[in-house]
Amino acid sequence: MSSRLYPCLYVNSLLDIPLEDLEQFNIKAFILDLDNTVTEWNSNKITQEVQEWFQQIKEADFRACILSNNDQQRIVKVAEKLDIPYISRARKPRRGAFYRAITLMGVEPNETAVIGDQIFTDVLGGNRAGLFTILVRPINRREFVGTKISRFAEFFVLRRLYRSRKPGKLYPR
């Protein structure tokens, strides 16, 4: 199975990302998926804990950008609440939007981590772009029909991932 499907880190949620450890790897910026990573699918609601996490990363001088395959209309509402830039219609796992996000944040690829809940969009796209990748568990089981189909294939990747790597442990490239 391709190593491009494996994240550098697998955690339960944004809140479990070890920021201090990422600083050791010179990570200065995050490209974040929207649905089931920052918010529940098809929702603009941001929990208090997620808002506090974004405040924490800003205080630690991390930059952030939302990168989503969704239309701009929904993303802009969340991005404005969090006061971060965004890129819509990203066409993940294609690399172009990842590179645009890096440029938008003014960082280098080796300083950037991708955070998302899907292996075949977020992790694959981030790995193809040569970025540090972090897989989080989906916030909610409710999601787009197409995503539910890809979750079936993800099951086999995750099963193999569990056999070869420990959750919460860093596996940098």
The tens-digit pLDDT sequence of the chain (173 residues) is 468 888 999 899 999 999 999 988 999 999 999 999 999 988 889 999 999 999 999 999 999 999 999 889 889 999 999 999 999 999 999 999 999 999 999 999 999 999 999 999 999 999 999 999 999 989 976 666 666 667 666 766 666 666 665 556 566 56
Q: Which helix (H) or strand (E) holds 87?
A: strand 86-87
Pair 58, 93: CB distance under 8 Å: no
Place of tokens 């993940």: 92
CA distance 87 to 67: 5
CA distance 62 to 154: 29
Place of tokens 């294939």: 153
**63-67 and 86-87: which strand pairing?**
parallel
Pair 61, 95: CB distance under 8 Å: no
User: Domains plus CATH for the chain?
Assistant: 3-164 (3.40.50.1000)
Pair 75, 66: CB distance under 8 Å: yes
What percent of the residues of the chain are helix, what percent strand, and what percent coil, each to the nearest 5?
Answer: 45, 15, 40
Structure confidence at residue 65 (pLDDT): 98
